[in-house]
Amino acid sequence: MQLILHISMIIAYIIGGCIVVLPLVIWHAHTHSYICKRCGYKFSISTFKDLISPHRLLKCPKCNKWAWQKEVKNSKYH
Ligand SMILES: [Zn+2]
């Protein structure tokens, strides 16, 4: 019985964490763009990509090279 309670607590924490983190990630993906450090091309990424790449190591869609891209805010949302 104790174990079931423990597991349901962990599940509650995971669900709670998703509810808090997901809107943040969606907001971040929509308000930020990236500038390729190799060719200077500005591009945005999908919410899912933003979620799985918090380290900002992204592949440039123009030159197809992996790099630690520079993060910039989207000006149209300000
Ligand atoms: Zn590039």
CA of 68 to the centre of ligand 1 (A): 11
Q: How far is the CA of 60 from the centre of ligand 1 (A)?
A: 5
Expressed in angstroms and rounded, the spacing between residue 10 Cα and the centre of ligand 1 is: 41
Question: Would you mind telling me the total number of residues written for the chain in this entry?
Answer: 78
Q: How far is the CA of 56 from the centre of ligand 1 (A)?
A: 14
Tell me: the pLDDT tens digits for 9-61? 999 999 999 899 889 888 988 899 999 999 999 999 888 888 888 778 999 99
Find the 59 Cα to ligand 1 centroid distance in Å: 8
User: Could you tell me where the DSSP H helices lie in the chain?
Assistant: 2-31, 47-52
Q: CA-to-CA distance for 28 and 14, rounded, in angstroms?
A: 20
pTM for this model (two decimals): 0.69
